[in-house]
Amino acid sequence: MNEKMNEKALIRKVLNGDRNAFGKIVREYEPVVAATVYGMVGRCPEAEDIGQEVFIRFYNALGQFRGDSTIKTYLTRIAINLSLNELNRRKRRKQLFETSVSEKINDIKEPEETSWKEDKEIINKAMEMLDEKYKSVLILRLINGYSTREAAQILKLPEGTVLSRLSRAQEKLKSMLTSKLRENHHEV
């Protein structure tokens, strides 16, 4: 309850024109927003724009913020919605996220580190292949550390649906990754 009272006081300060108060909100919740957006759309130029747009929309909607949820939950919901919008735009344009050649050249390191980077790339590609409904649950629960109840509130789903989607997402990822990671390590 103390946290919600502090949040309400912080929001009142922002509504009264205190820029430092809004800066405090941005500093506090930027890592959560970034993790959500990067998890949903990948590390791409659009991700930074989405992250900024999350805080712009939050700021513009502060007058309507009722405090039913925490600021963290509210920002995460905005981040997921904007990320889903971006993913839908990509589908319509049939664009695929690609790592630039210059990044690949800069990433060449020692063999163990290269192997880890390859594994990480395989994991990221597998995450990109997941349907958004599974990806969003996986990111909220396992990457951002939200409880099942919090994830259900953010996604506006029953808790049982969140649990079943999480289980299905883990099964799909395990299936995709098992063969790819084995191939990657047996090539050496």
Domain 100-188 has CATH 1.10.10.10: yes
- Residue 101 has a pLDDT of 34
Q: Examine the pLDDT at 40 and tell me if it is beyond 80.
A: yes
31-49: average pLDDT:
90
Q: What is the pLDDT of residues 135-150, one digit of tens each?
A: 888 888 888 888 888 8
Q: How far apart are the first and last CA of the chain?
A: 55
pLDDT digits 0-9 by tens, 29-39: 999 999 999 99
Contact 80, 40 (CB under 8 A): yes
Task: Tell me the pLDDT of the chain averaged across its residues.
Answer: 80
What is the maximum span of the chain, computed from C-alpha positions, in angstroms?
61
pTM for the whole structure: 0.62
User: Quick one: pLDDT at residue 103?
Assistant: 45
SS3 string, the chain, reads: CHHHHHHHHHHHHHHCCCHHHHHHHHHHHHHHHHHHHHHHHCCCHHHHHHHHHHHHHHHHHHHHCCCCCCHHHHHHHHHHHHHHHHHHHHHHHCCCCCCCHHHHHHCCCCHHHHHHHHHHHHHHHHHHHCCHHHHHHHHHHHHCCCCHHHHHHHHCCCHHHHHHHHHHHHHHHHHHHHHHHHHHHHCC
1-97 folds as Rna Polymerase Sigma Factor; Chain: A (1.10.1740)
pLDDT tens, residue by residue, 55-74: 999 999 988 888 788 999 99
List C-alpha distances in Å: 147 to 19, 56, 75, 140, 183: 31, 26, 16, 8, 34
Query: What pLDDT was estimated at residue 99?
Result: 38
With pLDDT > 90 as the criterion, what percentage of the chain qualifies? Answer: 30
Same fold? 1-97, 100-188: no
Each domain of the chain, given as residue ranges in start order, spans 1-97, 100-188
